[in-house]
A and B are shown apart, each in its own frame.
Chain A
Amino acid sequence: MTTSSTPHPPRIRSAPSPRSRGEGRDEGHSRRFYAQLAFTVLVCAFLVVPVVLSVLAGLSQNFFVGVKSGLTLRWVGQVWSLYSGTIFLSLALALECLAATLVLGVPIAYVLARRPGRMARLFEELLVLPVAVPGLATALALILLYGGWRGFRASSLFILVGHVVFTLPFMVRSVLAVMAAMDLVTLEEAAASLGAGFFKRFFGVIVPNARYGILAGALMVVTLSVGEFNITWMLHTPLTKTIPVGLADAYASLRLEIGSAYTIVFFVMIVPLLVAMQWLSRERAPALAGRK
């Protein structure tokens, strides 16, 4: 639900262009500037303060007393003993999801890039459906269709299927964007003229050249998978829980501190991924200048 709408990593643009440097700001920062700055900082605070609060809550002895009660890691420890299975499952799912989307997504992107046409557009539209439709609906559909298959239903494979259906479009779009920007036909013809067969061409030339798109897509998929809730909540069983599902449990039934500590674990997993995505988009921006 929350992450269904950003396939591309957040692009952090560098400072405004030279043309605007100094112009109009020469008079020094005007009142408007400070007003807007204050507003923006306020918005930022709105988003960030709760995060800080929850981190503090997860680390303090007693939430009601606050930080004064002292810092401790015992809640985090409790979370670990309660939920380590869940955490591992989440990680495993994310990696499996990544593997599946790589195996499926890169070839799909290649086909779409190589044969643009009406079929390709139609296919792309279909591909995007799971993103457009709310996760709840997707999950519901999966249950209604496959719920009868006991074994499948109860395994983590079920959740994996949901994740893959949801994240595949992001991988495909990310790789497709990069592939469409490079001159595939010419590259392949050059490689073929030098004697490379299809697989050699694919793995030796196409894939390495698309690596930025693949990497960005990979990060996106892992991040989405770890954070996915809407689909997973519907599909899970007590034995197949992921971190977000566990979080919902903890918020509902356990102490605030444990819920906060669990959230900290989540942050610890997510933040490096986000940082990597932002760093990657910064790297990538010059290479794809003019693409967007």
Chain B
Amino acid sequence: MIVFAAFWLLPMARLVSVGASGPRGPAAYLAIVTDANYFASLVSTVTLSIGVTLATLVVAGIAGMFLQRNDFPGRAIVVSLLTFPLAFPGVVIGFMVIMLAGRQGLIGTVTDALFGSKLVFAYSIAGLFAGYLYFSIPRVILTVMAAVEKLDRALEEAARSLGATPWQVLRDVVLPGLRPALISAGAICFATSMGAFGTAFTLATNINVLPITIYTEFTNYANFSIAAALSLVLGVITWAALAVARTLAGSTVAAAA
């Protein structure tokens, strides 16, 4: 009986995937991937995702390592604050970006006061970038902190005993040690950025990321087959990225994926 309940899910999942692949014409599917517009959309999404991933890894790497290794008054609060945004839906994040960098945003006000002209970038690719960064950083920071905690301090001390400066220790011991975690966190970050919808939707940019393209195809042009095909491609890419993350990090991913 329990297994039956389990099997209820299986058809569900199966149907979901069947539903996605049903309406598309097989030949059209391939053409779509090579069509200029869609391809451009794919490329810009991938580029954005890669950029966000790299930036997040650096930012979260520095902050995460610092937080894990140092104690100071208010540390717990900082860590909590940094991880709250995990639950925000994309729309809220888009809104946050508008708050910071929109026409009445904080940054605009500050630059206006300092330089006399308002810096407004919420509705450009920079705004999108900031939004993606916003939801990626908390995720990666947690993974980084967990990984840093597992590092063997004796290795760093050994390197120091041999004369290595802090930079050399970082390069030769710490980063190699963090590599699996960084790769898996990066893959998750990439996958999430690829599939992000709410943020782009709220920021209503004319940068076409793939999820928006899919959405437009579906709702505005009723191009079901294209929408389905594109989302399949997207699904495959994100699934592949997560699979990479899983194989590289084994059980760690179960805790962070």
Q: Which residue of chain A is the closest to B106 with respect to CB atoms?
A: A53
Q: A13-B145, A140-B218 are in contact. Are A1 and B192 (CB under 8 A)?
A: yes
Instruction: Tell me whether A111 and B3 are in contact in the complex, defined as CB-CB below 8 angstroms, given that A43-B82, A104-B8, A223-B87 are known contacts.
Output: yes
Judging by beta carbons under 8 Å apart, are A136 and B231 in contact?
yes
Contact A107 B232 (CB under 8 A): no
Which residues of A are found within 8 Å of B87, using beta-carbon distances?
2-3, 223-224, 227, 270, 273-274
**CB proximity of B48 to chain A, nearest CB, Å:** 14
Q: Which residues in B have their C-beta under 8 angstroms from that of A247?
A: 89, 91-92, 95
A34-42, A73-81, A91-99, A185-193: which lies at the interface: A34-42
Q: B94 and A251: CB pair below 8 A?
A: yes
Tell me which residues from 26 to 63 in chain A have a Cβ below 8 Å from any Cβ of chain B.
32-33, 36-37, 39-41, 43-44, 46-51, 53-54, 57, 63
Q: Contact between A173 and B195 (Cβ–Cβ < 8 Å)? A: no
A227-242 interface bits toward B, Cβ cutoff 8 Å, 1 = contact, 0 = none: 1111001100000000
Interface centre among B81, B99, B100, B138 (most CB of A within 10 A): B99
In the bound complex, CA of A211 to CA of B20 (Å): 37
A111 touches B6 (CB 8 A): yes
Among B26-34, B71-79, B111-119, the stretch in contact with A? B71-79
Return the contact of B96 from the options A51, A134, A274 (Cβ within 8 A): A51
- Chain A nearest Cβ from B152, distance in angstroms: 11
B91:A229 contact, CB within 8 angstroms: yes
Interface size on B, residues (CB 8 A): 97
Are B78 and A41 in contact (CB-based, < 8 A)? yes
Q: Is the interface of B mostly helix, strand, loop or mixed?
A: helix
A11 at the interface (CB under 8 A from B): yes
**Is the CB–CB distance between B66 and A37 below 8 Å?**
yes
B9 at the interface (CB under 8 A from A): yes
Which residues from chain A contact B76 at a C-beta distance below 8 Å?
A: 12
Q: Across the two chains, which residue of chain B brings its CB closest to A115?
A: B3
Q: Are B195 and A263 in contact (CB under 8 A)?
A: no
- A48-B63 in contact (CB<8A): no
Quick check: B235 and A137 within 8 Å, CB to CB? yes
| Bound Cα distance A19, B154 (Å) | 10
Task: Contact check, A15 vs B75: say whether CB atoms are below 8 A apart.
Answer: yes
Given A8-B256, A107-B6, A165 contacting B86 (CB threshold 8 A): no
Asked if B198 is at the interface (CB within 8 A of a chain A CB), the reply is yes
What chain B residues lie within 8 Å of A4 (beta carbons)? Answer: 192, 195
Partner of B84, one of A16, A230, A234, A274: A274
Q: Is the CB of A251 within 8 A of B202?
A: yes
Contact at A49–B66, with CB atoms within 8 Å?
no
Q: Kindly list chain B residues whose C-beta atoms are within 8 Å of the C-beta of A251.
A: 91, 94-95, 98, 202
A-contact 0/1 string along B1-34, CB 8 Å cutoff: 0110110111011011111101100000000000
In the complex, A82 has a CB within 8 A of chain B: no
What would 17 more interface pairs be, CB under 8 Å, given A3-B86, A6-B256?
A5-B139, A5-B256, A13-B145, A15-B75, A32-B166, A44-B82, A48-B81, A63-B104, A104-B8, A108-B2, A123-B6, A134-B194, A144-B19, A161-B12, A228-B89, A229-B198, A233-B198
Residue numbers of A with Cβ under 8 A of B are 1-8, 10-13, 15-16, 19-20, 25, 32-33, 36-37, 39-41, 43-44, 46-51, 53-54, 57, 63-64, 103-104, 107-108, 110-111, 123, 126-138, 140-146, 161, 165, 168, 173, 177, 223-224, 227-230, 233-234, 244, 247-248, 251-252, 256, 259, 263, 266, 270-271, 273-274, 278, 292
Q: What are 27 pairs between A and B in contact, CB < 8 Å?
A: A2-B196, A3-B87, A5-B139, A5-B192, A12-B79, A20-B153, A25-B70, A36-B62, A39-B66, A43-B137, A44-B78, A44-B82, A46-B137, A47-B81, A47-B84, A53-B99, A53-B100, A54-B96, A123-B10, A130-B16, A131-B257, A133-B195, A134-B194, A138-B16, A141-B20, A224-B87, A228-B89
